[in-house]
Amino acid sequence: MNAFLAHPQGYLVGWGTRTLINAGLAQGKNRSGILWFLLSLLLGPVATLLIVLLPKR
């Protein structure tokens, strides 16, 4: 069985943790933490990649 189907709560906890990490990374680059938090809810790992690649303001 697929791991997501077996433990959907773990998947959601991981996704939520990623959004918090992304918000912290964004604030470290002088960007809006809340905006990147919301973007991370939608984009997940893609948002992480964008934050890492974008230059600091």
pLDDT tens, position by position, 18-55? 999 999 999 999 999 999 999 999 999 999 999 999 99
- C-alpha 23: how far from chain center: 7
Report domain extents, the chain. Answer: 9-44
What's the CA gap between 18 and 56, in Å, rounded? 20
pLDDT at 9: 76
Q: What is the mean pLDDT of residues 5-15?
A: 76
pLDDT at 12: 83
Which tokens hold the place of 10?
């773990």
What's the CA gap between 20 and 26, in Å, rounded? 10
Higher pLDDT, 20 or 4: 20
DSSP per position, the chain: --HHHH-HHHHHHHHHHHHHHHHHHHHHTTS-HHHHHHHHHHHTHHHHHHHHHSPP-
pLDDT at 57: 87
